[in-house]
Structure 1
């Protein structure tokens, strides 16, 4: 379930009202009504925070539509001005952190209209307890599950939202020490100009993960599934890391995201259980009837990282999953004209030179597709600063 898909569903049917209470609105299946979309969370992290503005788009058009030219401010004990760094993306000029006991309000002026959120305060903080990685079978698929266990005996129920950033190390199908170049129509071998065997890829989660301990005696989150990595995925083939971000959110924010989750998970948008409404905490000052998608929240954040290796759960002698099946790494022997063209297009890599001829002579060259040798097709060859082996 992806957060982006959730908003697309909302865009198509405009089943939204951003008011302080939940108001029912029938789902409409015909016609299209534009609405402003506001996304933003300010946390207790000292950083430059981000607010995103866009407009809904019809199914027959390409979207989303960034909303530019807005005056965006977050007001607390002081006023924080946000500047547009790219279409629809507004970043605070200064780094700041939300503080306890302070009322914060989002204020936006755009296209002659003024919008403001309800006042929000920073919730209590709650640290992540333990992250665990275990090999399991989930819905018939073998893989590794990363789960969270959070024990915080405070006697006060909390509402949580989770995000994660996964980073994994992987290798290309083949290890080669030379590159092939063409000089004056002659194929020559040179030492490799860059690292192409070991790479890293980083992905931001799109899943909406929620937890609610309000009905429990202890503020505990137990065995919450954060991510599941299938054993067939290349991301599990070497070393894998997951950074989990835990947001303690308000009850109102939890309700907002919970409805968003249920609305987007409905197998049939026109089923009897379809709620047909949506709620937020942002309104047009002069037009309370305007439909607005989004929620402005103040949240406390904690983070934790976990690592594991392929051999922690699987036989190291196994054939490990790759981005490219070995069967797709066909070795070819192109004639010189085609070879020159393939090198110019960065489409191939040297495999071997079958005859021991001097490198300054034209010679037969065996090559394979670039993706079989060059891991930068799928990631970066720069090791992340946080990476630990």
Structure 2
């Protein structure tokens, strides 16, 4: 299953707190009611180690293919605030914002769970107050453009922003096929608004007033810091919050759940790879501007760097996924690196088409293997030497115990004959 990242300090209020107080008010002490509410919040965000109970895969290091190893503590430095370290799997408690998208993509983080504590209700003009989702802020300079990844169907008359700095422009593609380029103007304290150039009659026609694509452009000078954006309809007083970034809101209640629209699968092929001789050099190599998580793997060890071309027809499909065995079917017209975003750990081995291959540590934490062109079956198997050694020691111990028992029995019989 795809992984999720939970991101909340559980300061939010439970929506049905009133009902809980009514039901348990005369049954539980205030302290017990408080503990019950905290437990509900932890269940909502599936933390700290509840993924184990529900059989879910988490990025927090509580199973799901990722272990709180030393390599994990080093890898999460990519997403933690400066001067912050974690020596276990409690990543959620150290995060202050959603991590950069490339690292979420690399870790197969399809879902993000967070709360609404940082979101706001804001007046947007025309006696209308709207809700703004502030989870994914963006910053646009003079030559920057940003397309909102998912635009829900909504009949709107304007697009409002909670922002700072000099506003830029909004490019609107409607479902009717019209294209508008609109300037954004201040509509109040911290609110900027871009209104549709539609007549009052036209606004009643859903197809013409509903945007299909929204592209935001930076100002001619300065920086436009956009914290949140919401489609509004002054005609009926409704609104539709938008999500900035390559995410889609799939649940909104006490908590919010986003789907990462750009996520990489658990196993995928890469046309290029590079080598680093030391563990401490891997993460710096991944933070260079030319590094792309979708094109290049960084292996620990020594070898020859390889630069390949992207193969759109290359595939990697997980045929079987079990705790101690993962089988991947691959196909490509050129050599590739297969990356499985599960923790690399002593005892894991890899077979390619039934023959042993070299298991590599990829991107500082994961398992990887180099593959020639063609179709292959790759089997990752957990078969530690310690297990076989333990079996041998157990067998020898049982043999000695049986021999000792036989010797004692023989001595007892000899004594009985005397």
Structure 1 length normalisation: TM-score? 0.20
Q: Which has the larger radius of gyration?
A: 2
Structure 2 length normalisation: TM-score? 0.19
**Structure showing greater relative contact order (alpha-carbon pairs closer than 8 Å, 6 or more residues apart):** 1
Whose helix proportion is higher, 1 or 2?
Answer: 2
